[in-house]
Amino acid sequence: MRRRDFLLGSAGAALIPLGNGAWAASAGNSGPSRLVVVMLRGAVDGLNVVVPYGEDAYYAARPTIAVPKPDAAEGAAVALDGHFALHPALNALMPLWQTKQLAFIHAAGSPDPTRSHFDAQLFIENGTPGRRVTADGWMNRLLASLPGAANGVPGPTSALAIGANLPQILKGRLPVANLPLGPAAANKLAIDRPEVAQAFDRLYDTDDPIGRAYRQGRAARTELIAGLNSEQQMADNGAPLPNTFPTQAARLAGLITRDRNIRLAFVSLGGWDTHVRQGSHSGQLADRLRPLGQGLAALAQGLGKDWADTVVIVISEFGRTARENGDAGTDHGHGNALWVLGGPVRGGRVYGEWPGLAPAALYEGRDLAATTDYRAALAAVIARHLRLSDRALTQIFPDFAPARSDIDGIIA
Amino acid sequence: MLRRSLLATAAASLASLALPRLSGAAEPPGDRQILHVLDRLAFGPTQEDLAHVRSVGIERYIAEQLNPKTIPEPPELAARLAELETLSLDPIELFLRYGPALPGIGMKPSPEEAKARRETARIIVQEAARARVLRARYSPRQLEQVMVDFWFNHFNVFALKGLDHLWIGAYEASAIRPHALGRFGDLLLATARHPAMLFYLDNWENSAPGSKMPFGREAGINENYARELMELHTLGVDGGYTQADVVALAEILTGWGLARPRMPPPDRSGFYFDPSRHQWGKKEFLGREIAPGGVAEGVEALDMLAKSPATARHIAGKLARYFVADAPPRALVERLSARFQESDGDIAAVLQTLFASREFHDSTAAKYKSPYRYVLSAVRAAGVPVNNPRPLLGTMARLGQPLYFCATPDGYKDSEDAWLSPDATVMRVSFATALASGRLPLQAKPAPEGPVVAAAAATAEPVDAAPLDSLLAPAISERTRAALAAAPVELRAALILGSPDFMRR
């Protein structure tokens, strides 16, 4: 009996198309709310993303890499309000700011002081700062807490990681799918041949991690590849698209609009560890930010009416030093800006308590302080957007009780 | 429940006696243990290696592997490696032949010229990767190849960072390979001085505040290498250092940089210590005062790090995770750590203790293979000749482990947690099927450009399941055997190479 349930609950169910909106219908929601998390691995320099141009200390700390003020003749940052401005390479996001669908929470960060990329990323992903041993990730715990999850096992594509591996943030008890969205994503594999699939299905018919991974992979492939094939034929016209973030984001949008079961998606981008010559309005960091901004805009556009139910969070493991280092770059720091965009966002506003960059205000005398715990920021977004109970929140972020703040209003 | 599974196990083992094997090969006692040793000291068994260990015994095999120079290399392999010209060039020569044209001499290269030079330089990474795969496939010095992979990954550099594409092969050849079974302190110093590492973690520009780089640009302190040197290469993140130690070590290492290609270098290593960019004055590092000594300060600091008990624990833990289990027994790690300290970081001595341990021998199939290992072990077990490594490199990349392209300094993880995923599992069985059917163009002339799996004309023979089955028999589970018996004959080799059993080592 247990075995039969297991098969039906995973491979069995997966191979029968569920139809659009099956999940939403069972959850009783008006539409499936979706969350996309974009992680910038390597610690993006948030002070050059959401620039505190109203503060002289910013320009004093960064003689060669500061982004010029909004009234500058060349390379000017784009004013968000009287104090903050956006890096000009992120211009593609300004329409979202103007229509109040983009917000930032500045000076957000971890209560853990580590400046190790790897520990800090782990803590962002497992949701328990300072505790490495937490085995699962907060997005997997979130998947278990979604309203409607109790009505049935989530489908094989309820949560999707873009990439060849499963990131820590999605690891855990509930099955999740992963798929790289590179140019070869939709290429035929041997497993697509029925006689090969049949032989391996038999071999992997086991209730252990490897058997579960296999069935999950088969089921996700069956659902996702069909969508990718039709999308690629339409969009690529046979020619391979470059493997850039805007292309991936457009593909992700296509997957989400076609597969109504996708509720959570995760993608990470590297290359933010700018210790040397990061540039100001142009240069290395600008060259990384531009495709990110274009990709997020492409995601919003590709989702069409589904953008109204989607929230995207952009997060990085920590910020970078307030002062530029000896090589026109920045070293590992602390507080950072967290980005929140989507139809349900009350945007056009920089949230959070700004500690300032005066020497006495800096964390350990060198970094932007973190005045908002990243868990408080995440909790404020997901609680309202995904209609989570307080109880669910304590399961997602154990040992954490967020204080009420104006961030709670970030989702309409 | 417990009773039921015991019964099921008993039934399964009874059934196994009745099930016919694909081959009639007898199974001498100890073959399971031989496979285990070849799964850990080597990139999995080949027919030849199994026969060799059967004849000399496990203890002798381990002793041989710990002294690779005593093992003759096949002349065919040496001849194929000798064809790879960039492997024998030093960093200076590589820069002059393949690097960007030098500023200050004639014209700055046009964007087209710069792009063309980068294209030409791609041969360096291709040749390094080709050498890696050929050695892993054919060299009888398997442990040396395993340790080259282990240490390259531990001291990772990234082929897409700036000039590092020039020095990937040279770094492996001169900083990693000579010390792979040698002294940890020598290995550490060799990586610290190598242009590939100096460039990758930015130390070549780490300078006393206010000093100037060769072309007049202002430079100052850069913490990048100093931090990763302690966190990743030596002490470990819990190794007891502070932010002040990071800054002190960065100051100690100011001036450790790259030789200027137009200046006659003191040697061909590409390392140059620039006293004019060194921060002179005394420093306090890890509670010890470091007297002003220029380049000697860095050598002293590296020596302190290599001898630290925290480093011994960190390296012992990493070796035990790699060779024994993702969560290795604490007692074993302590013994290895003690051996590391007593032997002054003698890597072969630590490995000797590890391979002689009960924990090592009892850890059969405890590890899930990384993509690199999975792909290499499949071609070795199948006995497929490899001339063109591109389909293998492409598969590693598709599985998330592209060789020489790990962007971050922590290298790739070596745990089930890191590699077992839904997508990886369907990709692996698909690779196994393609390999077994003979459709991967592995015997083609190496074609550096073009699609990875070119129009797959079945040029090679399909893999014969019978010898594969006899090679791996002791490691094939009864469940797999039952699935094999029910499968079409032409899929049996694919099923063995794609089985859950073969995903483990």
CA distance B361 to B358: 5
Q: Can you give the pLDDT at residue A302? A: 95
Q: Can you give the pLDDT at residue B277? A: 96
CA distance B244 to B287: 10
Higher pLDDT, B160 or B266: B160
- Mean pLDDT within B53-79: 97
DSSP string, B89-151: --HHHHHHHHSPPPTTSSPPPPHHHHHHHHHHHHHHHHHHHHHHHHHHHH-S-HHHHHHHHHH
Residue A242: pLDDT band by 50, 70, 90 thresholds?
low
Q: How many other C-beta atoms lie within 10 A of the C-beta of residue B76?
A: 10
Mutate to test the interface with B, among A200, A218, A317, A324 (most CBs of B within 10 A): A200
AA identity, residue B175: A
Higher pLDDT, A155 or A112: A112
Q: Two tokens at A147? A: 């309203």
Q: State what percent of residues in chain B have pLDDT above 70.
A: 90
Q: Can you give the pLDDT at residue B447? A: 56
Question: In B, which residues are within 8 Å of A220 by CB distance?
Answer: 422-423
Cross-chain residue pair A200–B495, CB shorter than 8 Å? yes
Cross-chain residue pair A325–B416, CB shorter than 8 Å? no
Q: Can you give the pLDDT at residue A9? A: 35
> What residue spans of A31-165 are helical by DSSP H?
56-61, 94-98, 117-126, 138-145
Q: Nearest by CB to B430, which of A163, A171, A190?
A: A190
Cross-chain residue pair A118–B417, CB shorter than 8 Å? no
Distance from CA of B474 to the nearest CA of A (A): 17
Question: In B, which residues are within 8 Å of A276 by CB distance?
Answer: 202, 205, 222, 224
Q: State what percent of residues in chain B have pLDDT above 90.
A: 83
Q: Residue A75 in contact with residue A280, Cβ under 8 Å?
A: yes
Q: Can you give the pLDDT at residue A17? A: 33
DSSP string, A109-145: E-SS----HHHHHHHHHHS-TT-S---S-HHHHHHHH
Residue A395: pLDDT band by 50, 70, 90 thresholds?
very high
Of A139-153, B59-73, B265-279, least confident by mean pLDDT is A139-153
Which of residues 198 through 227 in chain B touch A, CB cutoff 8 A? 202, 205-207, 209, 218-224, 227
Q: Find tokens 């302080």 and name the residue.
A: A369
- Does position A24 have pLDDT exceeding 50, yes or no? no
- Does position B266 have pLDDT exceeding 90, yes or no? no
Q: Two tokens at A140? A: 């997997």
- Does position B45 have pLDDT exceeding 70, yes or no? yes
Q: Can you give the pLDDT at residue A48? A: 98
A–B interface: beta-carbon pairs under 8 A: 162
* Secondary structure of residue B346 in the 3-state scheme: strand
Give residue-wise pLDDT tens across range B310-320: 999 999 999 99
Taking the Cβ of residue B422 and every Cβ of chain A, the question of whether any pair is shorter than 8 Å is answered with yes
Question: In B, which residues are within 8 Å of A42 by CB distance?
Answer: 408
Question: In B, which residues are within 8 Å of A195 by CB distance?
Answer: 488, 491
Taking the Cβ of residue B407 and every Cβ of chain A, the question of whether any pair is shorter than 8 Å is answered with yes
ipTM, interface predicted TM-score of the complex: 0.89
Distance from CA of A82 to the nearest CA of B (A): 33
Question: In A, which residues are within 8 Å of B501 by CB distance?
Answer: none
- Mean pLDDT within B96-123: 79
Residue A15: pLDDT band by 50, 70, 90 thresholds?
very low
- Does position A109 have pLDDT exceeding 90, yes or no? yes
Give residue-wise pLDDT tens across range A154-166: 778 899 999 999 9
Of A182-191, A391-400, B177-186, least confident by mean pLDDT is A182-191
Q: Can you give the pLDDT at residue A230? A: 60
- Does position A231 have pLDDT exceeding 60, yes or no? no
Question: In B, which residues are within 8 Å of A206 by CB distance?
Answer: 479, 500
Give residue-wise pLDDT tens across range B467-503: 999 999 999 999 999 999 999 999 999 999 999 999 9
- Does position A95 have pLDDT exceeding 60, yes or no? yes
B27 burial (CB, 10 Å; 0-12 / 13-18 / 19+) is exposed
Instruction: Give the residue among B359, B374, B384 at the shortest CA–CA distance from B461.
Output: B384
Give residue-wise pLDDT tens across range B357-368: 999 999 999 999
CA distance B168 to B162: 12
Q: Residue A257 in contact with residue A304, Cβ under 8 Å?
A: yes
Distance from CA of B394 to the nearest CA of A (A): 11
CA distance A72 to A54: 13
- Mean pLDDT within A346-351: 98
Higher pLDDT, A11 or A31: A31
- Mean pLDDT within A1-8: 33
Give residue-wise pLDDT tens across range A253-305: 999 998 888 999 999 999 999 999 999 999 999 999 999 999 999 999 999 99
